[in-house]
Copies of this chain bind each other. A is one copy, B any other.
Amino acid sequence: MSTDRPRRVNIVDVARHAGVSHQTVSRVINDSPLVAAATRRKVQAAIEELGFRPNRLARALAGGTAREVTVLTTDTSLYGASETLSGIEDAARAAGHTVSVSVMNPDQPYADADVLARLPHLGSPAIVIAHDATTTRAMRALRAAQPSTTVATGGGDLADETEAADWLVALDDRAVAARATRHLLDLGHATVHYLAIPSKAPRRLGWEQALRDAGRPVPPPAACDWSTASAYHAAIGLLEDPDVTAILCGNDDLAVGAVRAAHIAGRAVPGDLSVVGFDDCPYAAFQVPALTTVGLDFRGLGRGAFELLRSKLDGAPRPRPTWRQPELIVRETSAPPRNRTE
């Protein structure tokens, strides 16, 4: 496995070229304040001229930092996860870090050791995108083993427990879920049904609470996985009951399934059935009818997760959130229920 090793220019070459010791070069590339301005300039010129780039491996091995983050996730093709990953990568690269991805199989049981084995070594900085049981468990395992170098985003089935945790970056899913539910209630629906994505407790709880607050019946949530197909089947079941007029879905993919189910069941959307999704996927606005959904700033969340991690590594105070708050986007799949001819 030869990886082309054409002797690269190293710190010693630079030192020689600049007429200083290699240590001084090290100080310069690490932004140490203990270097005279003139020396720094000389060294930087040499670096420039020689096209020197520090060897990450050597740096890390020598006790510095690898400047590398491992992201654990279950599904890179889920909209939320992939956008989050993108946000992490963005912030990480800006900070000179490398991001590695490790994908976990939702159907496979992982021992804690298996989770740790995903990292370069114990203590390696990690971000887990926790959105289902598998990733939530991974998050717990990592948190237990290396609390100071693990952060998470998403929330998994943590619900409130961690809202205030100093290692979690999350949007207030619960509040928007309640908001979306109220939107449907305000439209005149007697109650709202819920198609649940795996372990996204906050959304379910927000929905529940909004119904309770309004004194409405709380129907049992229908458990789906991430697939549109699962939502389709769940919705087909739900729609056997003619009283079902509104469905809140754990995400947009599920909403698409619900809309199709309505179509097959001969129910007009939004006339006979209102559907509200979550995520505002790129295609949501262009569905026929256009999906009413909740816009979520996953990319911002990802950036926030990295910044949080970095602050922990640096021992800096927790950075303030910079991501956009969730917002309900009302489009065409939600409307007042049509008056039924009894």
Contacts and interface: CB of A to CB of B under 8 A. Distances in A.
B1 A313 contact: yes
A288 B286 contact: no
A148 interface: yes
Contacts of A6: 122-123
Contacts of A146: 4
A98 B86 contact: no
B86 A77 contact: yes
B99 A287 contact: no
B65 A1 contact: yes
Most buried by B among A102, A148, A282, A314: A282
Contacts of A339: none
A8 interface: yes
Interface string A1-28: 1111110100000000000000000000
Contact of A3 (B55, B102, B125, B260): B125
Interface stretch (A154-162, A196-204, A225-233): A225-233
Contact of A123 (B3, B89, B121, B288): B3
Contacts of A63: 5
A62 B3 CA distance: 12
Interface in A16-69: 53, 55-58, 60-61, 63-66, 68
A99 B73 CA distance: 13
A85 interface: yes
Given A102-B93, A103-B89, A259-B288, A2 B282 contact: no
Contact of A103 (B90, B122, B257): B90
A127 interface: no
Contact of A120 (B5, B56, B117, B256): B56
Contacts of A124: 3
B4 A148 contact: yes
A253 B123 CA distance: 41
Interface in A73-97: 75-77, 79, 82-83, 85-86, 89-90, 93
Contacts of A77: 79, 82-83, 86, 282
A61 B68 CA distance: 16
Contacts of A325: none
A256 B227 contact: no
Given A3-B313, A76-B86, A286-B228, A99 B98 contact: no
Contacts of A314: 1
A263 B288 contact: yes
Given A3-B123, A55-B121, A232-B286, A89 B61 contact: no
A285 interface: yes
A51 B83 CA distance: 36
A71 to B, nearest CB: 8
Interface string A220-259: 0000000111001000000000000000000001001101
